[in-house]
Structure 1
C-alpha cells in the first residue's frame, strides 16, 4: 500500500476523535484541529470514489463528474461557512485555494520532481490556454472590487447584482471550457496525457483536473490487468464520505472563530492559508506523487485545473448560494487578496509558458508562496469573521 494511502487511513482516527471532542467539550481549538485533520482523508476518499465512478460512466459523463466534484470538499466547507455568515472567510478561502494550487502545489511538484529529474516537460499549448483562463478569473475578481473602491459609495445591493451577473458569466465560461476539453479540442488533452494515461480518457482531466487515482490505473494497465470499479462499493463510499465531510465541516466552522483567536491568527490568514490546505490536501499529495514519477503533464493538470475550477465554478456557485440563502456574497475582495492572486497567476503563467520545469522554478514558486503567507500572517487585519 502506498505511503499516502497509509497516512490517509491513519488520519481517519480523527473522525471519531473530533466528534468526541465536540460532544465532551474538550475545547474549540481541539475540535478545530481534529476536524481539520479528519477532513483530509475524507477528501481523499471522495476523490477516489469520484474517479472510480467516472470510469464506469464513460468519457463524457465521467469527465463532467470529475470536473464538477473535483473541489467538492472546499465547496462544502465554504457553503457551511457562508451559512454561518462568515463571508470574509469564504472569500479568503477562494483566493487562498487559487494561490495555494498555483504556488504551493505546483511549486512542490516542480521542486521535488526536479530533484529527481533534471528537466521535466508538459504541454505548452495547454499551459497557454490555462493561462488565458486564469487571466479571466483575475479580471472577474478585480473589476467588481475596483468599481466598489472607486465609485465612492456604491450601493451594496448594486454590487451584489453585479456579482450575480458576473457569476452567471463565469459559470457559462466553465461550461464552455468543459465543451472545449471534452469535445471540440479533446485531442489537445489526448496529446498532453496520452503517454502518461494510456487507459484513462482525456476528458477525465477536463479543465486540467487530473485523476486522483490515475497512478493506480496506469500501474494496472502496465501490469496488463483490467480495472473494473465496483459501483456497489464506491457509490456508498462517495455518499458516506460526503456526509461525514459535511459533519466535520460543521465542527470546523463552528470552532473557527475561537480557535483562530487562540492560535493568534487573523481571519484573513485562516481563510487564505489554513482552510485551503485542509481542503486541498488530497490533491496536493496526488500532484506531488505524479511529479516525482516524471508525469509533469498530470501534475500541472491537478494544480492548474483545481485553480480554474475554484475560479470558474466554486466562486460563482458561492455567490449564487449567498443570493438564495440571504447571506450577501459578492465579488468585492480584500485588495491585497487580489494582489496576491494576480502575483500567483503572473509567476505561474511565466514559469509554465515554455512547457518545461526544473527544481529552481519550483523554488521560485514556493518562495513566492512563503512571502504571500508571511504577509498575510503579519497583516494586522482583525475583527469579526463575517
Structure 2
C-alpha cells in the first residue's frame, strides 16, 4: 500500500468528524475545516474509481467518463453553493479553478519536473489547440460582462438569456473537443491518457482486471459523500470566512478550487516529476478547459432551472485575472518545452494574483 493511499484512507476519518461537528454545533469554522479535509480523499477516490471504470469500459466510454467526472467535485460544490444563493462565490470558484490549473498546477509541474530534468517536452500542436480553446472561453465570459458594462439599464433576465445562449454554444464546443480528442484526432491526445500499464484486455502486469461493480459502488458512494460534505462546507462558508477575516471572493477564487481539485493537482505534479510532462500539461489545461467549456455553462443553465440569477457577467477584476493567466500560460506552453524557470514564472503570477484577491475590497454582492 502506497503512502498516498494510506494518507487518503486516514483523511476519511474527517467524514464522520465533520458530520459530528455539524450535529453538535461545534462552530462554523470547525465544520468548514473538517468538511474541507473530508472532501480531499473523497475527490481522490472519485478520480481513481473513474479511471478504473474507464479501463473496463473501453477507450471511448472511458474517455467520456473521465471528461464528465474530471471536475465532478468542483461541480457538486458549485451546484450546492448556487442552490444556496451564493452566486458570486460560484463565479469566483470558476475563476479560481481556471487560475489554479493554468498557473498553480502547471507551474508546480514545470518547476518540480524542471528541477529533476533540465528540459521537458510535450506536444506543441496540442498546446496550441488548447490555447485556442481557452482564448474562446475567455472571449465567451468577457462579452456578457462587456455588454453589461457598455449598456444602460440592461435587465437581469436579459443578461441571463444571453448567458444561457452563450452556455449552449460553449457546451457545443466542448462536445466538439471530445469528438476531436477521442475520435478524429485521438492520436494527438494519446499522451494525455493516464498511464495505467494495462494490456488490451484491461489487465495490469500482474493479470488483475479492475472490478467494475466495486469501483462503480466506490464512485457512487464517494459522490454522495462529496455532496453531503459540500452541503456542510457551503452551510458554514459565510460565517467561517468572516471569522478567518477572508472575503468570499478570496475564498471562492483560492480556497474552494484547491479543496475540490487537490487530488488532480497532485496527480499532475507527480507525473511531471516522472518526466511525463505531456500527461501533466494535459491534466492541467484539460481541467481548465472543462471548467470553462462545460462546468461554467452547466452552472448557468442550472441557475436558470433553480431560479437563481446565475449568468456570465463576472467581476471585471476576475476577467482580468483569467486573461492574464491564459496569456502567460499560452506564451509559456506554445513551444512544447518547459523548464524550472518557466514553472517559477507561472507560480509567481499565481502568487501575485492571490495577493491581489486577498487585498481586494469587499464589493456589492460579495461578502
Tell me the TM-score normalized by structure 1: 0.92
Deviation at 1:279, TM superposition (A): 0.4
Residues 1-386 of structure 1 correspond to what in structure 2 (within 5 A)? Answer: 1-190=1-190, 193=191, 205=192, 210-211=193-194, 214=195, 224-382=205-363, 385=366
Pairwise CA distance, 1:259 = 0.2
SS state of the match for residue 255, structure 1? Answer: helix
Q: Cα deviation per residue 1:312-355 (whole Å; 9 max; x = unaligned)? A: 00000000000011011000000000000000000000000000
Cα deviation, 1:290-311, whole Å, max 9, x if unaligned, reads 0000000000011000000000
CA contact (8 A) 2:198 2:205 kept: no
Alignment partners' CA distance in 2, 1:162 and 1:176: 22
Q: CA RMSD of the aligned region, Å? A: 1.6
Q: Which residue of 2 aligns with 1:198?
A: none
On the 8 A contact 2:107/2:342 being kept in 1, the answer is yes
**Gap runs ≥5 in structure 2:** none
Cα distance in 2 for partners of 1:92, 1:6 equals 33
C-alpha displacement of 1:224: 3.5
Q: Which secondary structure state, in structure 1, belongs to the residue aligned with residue 335 of structure 2? A: coil
Answer whether contact 1:287 1:300 (CA < 8 A) is retained. yes
User: Is the CA contact (8 Å cut-off) linking 1:80 and 1:249 kept in structure 2?
Assistant: yes
User: In 2, Cα distance between the equivalents of 1:384 and 1:143?
Assistant: 20
TM-score by length of 2: 0.96
Q: Given the superposition, is the C-alpha separation of residues 105 and 216 from structure 1 closer, same or farther in structure 2, using an over 3 Å criterion?
A: farther
CA contact (8 A) 1:32 1:256 kept: yes
Structure 1 residue 57 displacement after superposition: 1.0
Q: 1:209-238: CA deviations, max 9, x gaps?
A: x54xx35759xx998334411012111100
* Displaced runs of 4 or more, over 6 A: none
Q: Is the 8 A contact 1:135 1:345 kept in 2?
A: yes
Q: State the distance in 2 between where 1:217 and 1:226 align.
A: 9
Greater displacement, 121-130 / 373-382: 373-382
The number of residue pairs the alignment matches comes to 365
2:156 and 2:309 in contact (8 A); partners too = no
Aligned with 2:26: secondary structure?
coil
Matches of 1:364 and 1:54, distance apart in 2: 35
Kept in 1: contact 2:101–2:285 (CA 8 A):
yes
Q: Report if aligned partners of 1:266, 1:381 keep a CA contact under 8 Å in 2.
A: yes
Q: Is the 8 A contact 1:102 1:345 kept in 2?
A: yes
CA shift for structure 1 position 383: 5.6
Deviations 1:74-125 (A, max 9, x none): 0000000000000000000001000000000000000110110100000000
